[in-house]
Structure 1
Amino acid sequence: MSKISNRFWFQLHGWFSLPIWLIFCFVCLTGTISVISHELTWLTNPAARASNPQDLPEKPTAELISVVQQAYPTANVSIALSFEPYLVNAIVFNDSDKPVAVAYVNQYTGEIQEINLGITFINFMRSLHGWLLFPWQHNYSVGYYLVCAMAIVMLGALVTGLLVYKNFWRTFTQPKLRLSQGKKTLLSDLHKLAGVWSIWFLMLMSLTGLWYLVQAIMWHADIDIEPHPPTVTVEQLPKFAEQTATMPISATDAFEIAEQRFPNFKSTYAMLPEHNRDTYKLYGDGDFIFFDQYSLGVMVNPWTGEIEDERNPEKMAALETLTNVVNPLHYGTIGGIWTKIIWFIFGVLLTGMSITGFLMWGTRTVKAARKPTVELDHNQQTFIQQETH
C-alpha cells in the first residue's frame, strides 16, 4: 500500500509540472529577471543612472516636472515616478511629435539625461512576467490568468514533492550531492537540495500568486478592491473653468499639501489632472516596511486645494491591505537591494528546479520507451523507492 501511495504522489508531482513545463519555467525565469530589472537597467544604461558626484540634495518632484515642461513647452506631463536613489526619475509626457515619451531626469542635478520613446526594460520585463504580453480587454487578460494559475502548479508541486521525498528535513543538516554516480543521480540530488532549501520561497510565491489570481477574478467581476479616486464635483468648479488656462493649485502646491498631511511622505508615483474634474493623485511610501511604495496617497482638488481622499495603511480594509503588501513580498523589495539579491538567488534555484525536473522526466521517459511494459513497471517502482529514501 505504501508503494502504491508513493507511486501515486510521484506521478502526481510530475504531472503538476510537466504538461506546462515550458510556461512554468518561462514565468520563473522572467520573474527572476524582473526582481533585479532596476539594477540591470542601471548596469546597462548609463543614462538611467542618477549620478551625484557633488553630493547634492534631491530635488522635489514638482521641480523635475517643471524641468520637462520648460524643455518641451507644448508637452503635457501626465505621470512622475521615482525609484531607487541610484536611478533617475521618470517623467511621462506627450507632445505634438511624441505620443508617449519618458524623460529620464536626474533628481540631483535636474538634467534630462535621455528621452525614451519606447517601452522601458523594466516595464517590458514586468509585463512579460505578469501577463506574457497578452492584451487586456474588459478588465482581464488571458495571459494574466495563465501566469496566476502557475501558483496552483507550484503549490501542487511543493506538496507532492514533500510527500514523495520522505524525511526531507534531513537535507538541512545532511545535504547530499553525489557527483560521481551518474547524470540521473546528480540531477536528482540537485533537484532535492534546491527544493528543500526553497520551501519557504515556494510557499511565498504560491500564496502571493494565488492572491494575484483572486485579484484577477475580482477585477474581471468588477468587484472593487480599492476605492476609486473621487472626481471634482460640478459645483466645485469655478465659473467658466472650461476657459481657464491653468488651475489655481499647481503641482508644487499639491506636493506641499501631501507633505503637510503625511510629514514622512516621499513621492514615488504622481498623476497630474487629465481634465477639469480630475485631481492630483500623489502616492508615496512611509515607514511601513511590508507595504509597497504606494501605500500613502492623497487626492488633491486642483481648484480648492482640499484633500478629496487619501490612502493610509492604518485605515485600509483587508483586501486593500493585501493588495499593498503582496507586491513587496512577491518581488522582494521589502529590504531593498539585499532582499532583492536573496529573491534573485532563490528565483534562479526555482528556475533550475523546473529544468532539472524536466531533464529527469525526459531521461526516464526515453529509457522507459525502450523497455517492455513488465520491466518498466518494475523499474518505475525501484526508482520511486530510491527517490523517496
Structure 2
Amino acid sequence: MFRVSNRFWFSFHGWCSLPIWVLFCFICLTGTIAVISHELTWLTNPHARAANPDNLPAKSPAELVAIVEKAHPTADIGQVMVMDPYLVSAVIFSDHDQPTAIAYVNQYSGQIQEINSGLTFIGFMRMLHGWLLFSWQHGYSIGYYLVSAMSLVMLGSLVSGLMIYKQFWKAFSAPKIRTKQGTKTLLADLHRLVGVWSIWFILIISLTGFWYLIQGVIYHTGIEVEPHAPAISGRLLPTTEPRAFPVSLEQALQLAQQRYPNFSPSYIGLPEHNRDSYHLYGSGGEIFFDHYSYQVAVNPWKGEIMQATSPKDMNGIQSIMHIADPLHYGTFGGLWTKIIWFVFGSLLTGMSITGFIIWSLRLVKAKAAVPQPSWKKVEEHC
C-alpha cells in the first residue's frame, strides 16, 4: 500500500505558504481588519455613530429618504443601506455637483451628520481584501481570483499540517510550549499550538473562500443563480408620466412586511427608470443567513409584488451563497462572533509569519549542511 512520507508532507506544507507568503499574509491581515471595519468606523468617525440618548424609535428608510430629499431637493436618490443599530444609515444619492455621495443619517434623530463623497473605510477594506483593488472587467477581476484561490493554499496547509503533527488532539489537553530550547523550537511550538486550536476556523475560512472561487466562475460564465425581477411591461405604464411614482417607498416596505412579517430591511434600491421596481433586501431572523436573504421587488406603479424570495424558497446553491458571508466574516452572532473571528484572524496572520520564519530557518540550516566544493572553500579563505 502506498504511504506518503513525513518528508513529503513537510515539503508540501512549506510550499503551500512560502512562495506566496507575502500575499497570503496580506489577505489574512486585511480580512481580519475587514471583520471589525464597522466597529473601527464607529471608533474613528463620530459622524458615523447613531447616538440615541432619548431612546427614540428608529425611523423607516422611507423617512430617511424624505429627510435627504428635503435637504437636497435636486438629488437623485438611488439606494438606502441600514447598518447596525449603533451606526447611522447611509442614503446614497447623486446631485448636480456630486456624482456620488453618501448621506450619514441618524435614524433616531433624523439628523444628517455627514455627506461623504469618497470611498468609505468599510468599502475600502472589503475591496482590498476581496479583490486587492484590481479592476473588474467583463464580469471578473484578477484580484478576486487571486484571493479566492488562497483557499486552496489554506486547505493544503491545514491537511499537510495535520499529517505532520501526529496526535494533534493532545494539544487541546496538554499544550506544549518550550521556551528554553531556542527561537526555532519556540516558534514551532507556537505555530503548532495555534494551528491545532484554529482548525475549525481555518476550515471555515478555506471552505467559504473556495465557494467564492466557484461563485466567481459562475458569475464569469454568465450562469444566473438568482433570477432577477422582470422589467415592468411598457403597456402597463401610464401615457403621461407623473412627477412621482403612485406607490411610495413606505407602501412598498409595508407590502414586504405583509409578505414576510419578520422582514427587516438592510438594503433598498429605488427604481432607476420607469420600468424598474423597488428592490428591497433584508433579513428575517435566520441566524446563519445574510442580510440579503429576503428579496422583494415591488411594482412602483401598481403596488404589486413582482418577485419575492426567502430562505425557504432557496435551492442548495442559493442557500450557500447567502450563508457564506456570515460564516466567512463572523457576522452571524453580532459583535461577539466578530471579536472571535478577529482574534482567530489575527492568530492566522501570525501563523503565516511564524511559518515563514520556521521554513526560512530550515532552508538556512539545510544550505549550511550541504558540503561545499573545494574551489569555493579556497575563495572564502582568499
TM category, shorter: over 0.9
- The normalised TM-score by structure 1 is 0.93
Q: 1:372 Cα deviation (Å)?
A: 2.0
What's 2:47 paired with?
A: 47
Matches of 1:228 and 1:12, distance apart in 2: 44
**Alignment match, 2:255:** 257
**Which residue is equivalent to 2:352?**
354
Question: Between the two proteins, what is the percent identity of the paired residues?
Answer: 59
Change in Cα spacing, 1:312 to 1:3, as seen in structure 2 (3 Å) is: closer
How much has 1:252 moved relative to structure 2? 1.5
| Cα distance between partner residues in 2 of 1:250 and 1:172 | 58
- 2:347 matched to 1:345? no
In the TM superposition, residue 240 of structure 1 has moved relative to its aligned partner by 2.8
CA-to-partner distance for each residue in 1:318-353, whole Å, 9 max, x for gaps? 111111111101110111011111111110111010
- Are 1:278 and 2:276 counterparts? yes
1:370: Cα distance to partner? 2.8
- The equivalent of 1:93 in structure 2 is 93
Cα separation, 2, equivalents of 1:2 and 1:327: 39
Matches within 5 A, 1:221-232: 221-232=221-232
Separation (CA, whole Å) in 1 of partners of 2:366 and 2:317: 49
Counterpart residue identity of residue 370, structure 2: P
Match of 2:379 in 1: none
| Structure 1 stretches lacking a partner, 5+ long | 375-389
Alpha-carbon distance in structure 1 between the residues aligned to 2:260 and 2:84: 20
| Alpha-carbon distance in 1 for matches of 2:295, 2:109 | 27
Question: In structure 1, what residue type is equivalent to 2:74?
Answer: T
Alignment correspondent of 1:378: none
Within 5 A, what are the aligned runs for 1:269-308? 269-308=267-306
SS in 2 for 1:232: coil
Looking at structure 1, the residues matched to 162 and 322 of structure 2 have their Cα atoms a distance apart, in angstroms, of 31
Alignment equivalent of 1:312, drawn from 304, 310, 313: 310
**2: distance between equivalents of 1:309 and 1:2?**
55
Rounded Cα–Cα distance in structure 2 between residues aligned with 1:259 and 1:365: 62
Could you tell me the TM-score, scaled by structure 2's length?
0.95
**Structure 1, residues 83-131: CA drift from partner, whole Å, max 9, x if none?**
1100000100000000110000000000000011101000000000000
| Alignment of 1:36 onto 2:44 | no
- Provide Cα deviations, 1:215-258, integer angstroms capped at 9, x if missing partner: 000111101111112211112211233xx321111112211211
- For the structure 1 residues 3 and 322, does the alpha-carbon distance in structure 2 shift closer, same or farther, using more than 3 Å as the test? closer
Query: Matches of residues 324-335 of structure 1 in structure 2 within 5 Å?
Result: 324-335=322-333
Which string of whole-angstrom CA distances, capped at 9 and with x for unpartnered residues, describes residues 24-72 of structure 1?
A: 1111101100110000000110000000001111111100011001000
Alignment of 1:168-179 (within 5 A): 168-179=168-179
Q: Which secondary structure state, in structure 1, belongs to the residue aligned with residue 5 of structure 2? A: helix
Which secondary structure does the structure 2 equivalent of 1:282 belong to? strand
CA–CA distance in 2 between the matches of 1:4 and 1:254? 62
Shift of 1:15: 0.5
- Which amino acid letter does the alignment assign opposite residue 349 of structure 1? L
Distance 1:208 1:373, change over 3 A: farther
Q: Which whole-Å CA distance do the structure 2 matches of 1:45 and 1:29 have between them? A: 22
Spell out structure 1 runs of 4+ moving beyond 4 A. Answer: 1-4
Q: Structure 2: any 5+ residue segments left out of the alignment?
A: 373-382
Amino acid at match of 2:349: T
Length, aligned pairs only: 372
Q: Partner residue of 1:205?
A: 205
Aligned mates of 1:228, 1:144 — CA distance in 2: 24
CA RMSD of aligned residues (A): 1.5
The separation in 2 between residues aligned to 1:25 and 1:292, in whole angstroms, is 27
Q: Which moved more, 1:210-219 or 1:222-231?
A: 222-231
In 2: Cα distance, 1:317 partner to 1:231 partner:
24
SS in 1 for 2:274: coil
* Structure 2 equivalent of residue 166 of structure 1: 166
SS of corresponding position for 1:297: strand
